Amino acid sequence: MIARVAVEEFVTGKVDELYLAFTRFVNTLRQEPTIRRLLPFVPEEEDVDNLPPLQYLFEPDPETVLNEVIPRLIEVAVFQTILESKASAFSAQMVAMRNANGCRGGSHRRPHARREQGTPVAHHQGDARDRIGGRGPRQG
């Protein structure tokens, strides 16, 4: 849907250029804000003058082929940017959760650490009925 509307806007002349802005996933710790030009097509970082001339044979004709291929190409590019943005968001969440757990100072290990240090741990000597009935620990 997004790609169809974008191509339609470009073909009808309502927009001169079409760009996608998204968060590019590099790795777990690095995501980069990115702007990618979709239309009109321009070779990326290549020296076109140094490339050998290419000739293509289109069947049926170039216009028919490009009218089918370009919208699909834009759809794939939009889908890829959505996936990269989601991967970046999930990665950021994962790193944040890992950092939040690290900031606790290992509190999930404290009961074991206290026992190893010899800190006495008080145990309730009452039976299950005492705990369920709301009565405190038995005296004596």
Tens-place pLDDT, residues 34-47: 999 988 887 666 66
Q: Residue 12: phi, psi to the nearest 5?
A: -80, -10
Q: Residue 25: phi, psi to the nearest 5?
A: -85, 120
**Residue 24: per-residue pLDDT:** 92
Residue 14 clears pLDDT 90, i.e. is over it: yes
Domain 2-41+58-104, CATH number (from 3.40.1380.10, 1.10.3720.10, 3.40.50.1370, 2.60.40.3880): 3.40.1380.10
pLDDT category of residue 139 using cuts at 50, 70 and 90: low
Q: How far apart are CA 7 and CA 10, in angstroms?
A: 5
Residue 91 clears pLDDT 70, i.e. is over it: yes
Residue 107 clears pLDDT 60, i.e. is over it: no
CA distances from 121 to 58, 110, 111 (A): 81, 12, 9
Q: How far apart are CA 42 and CA 16, in angstroms?
A: 13
In this prediction the pTM is 0.58
